[in-house]
Amino acid sequence: MKPLKEVAMSYMALAEAQKKLLEGLYAEAAAESNKAMEISRTMPPEEAFDHDGFDGLCYAALAPAQAGLGEYAECLQSAERALRYFNRRGELQKDEGKQWIAVVFSRAVAMQETGSPEEASKGFRIAGEMIAERKGELPGREDMLREIAERLSVLGGESKTVEKPGGYRAWWEFWS
């Protein structure tokens, strides 16, 4: 198989994972995410391909799928791997910003479900801030905001947005 074909097949599997995720087919989304990473790893190392970036996008699809399946420990690992990419190179206003928000949200869910309420509250607040700051469409925006508010109320956190001081810039804007 030529590298160009492998790249195309990897991205097709990733697109399929993202589609399955939107349809709520979490097991299929997880399988497609793993398939995309497996295909990309068959490329020769000397080929110019951003493996870290691609894996970050794959883990960004895998984490919410695992959360949807109730595999919270695995979700946490996938979210951490995805955030290694997004926290360095993510851009909230670009298309991949949707995946970044989903990863932050999924990590917060996993933290809540694995018994780390303080980290979960912090993650839900960050996800809410990111959603508020994102310009453009975000599938499931209202559902995510509603779930953030519900989970924060269960955790005892404040679900209302806090007024930001003038000139405030969120931490991710320094990299975006």
For residue 64, what is the domain's CATH number?
A: 1.25.40.10
pTM for this model (two decimals) = 0.82
pLDDT of residue 172: 52
- Using 50, 70 and 90 to split pLDDT, how confident is the model at 160? very low
Share of the chain above pLDDT 90, in %: 60
Number of domains in the chain: 1
What gap in Å lies between CA 118 and CA 69, rounded to an integer?
A: 23
pLDDT of residue 166: 59
Residue 80, both tokens: 């951490």
Whether 171 is in a domain gets the answer no
Domain that holds residue 96: 3-42+49-157
Whether 165 is in a domain gets the answer no
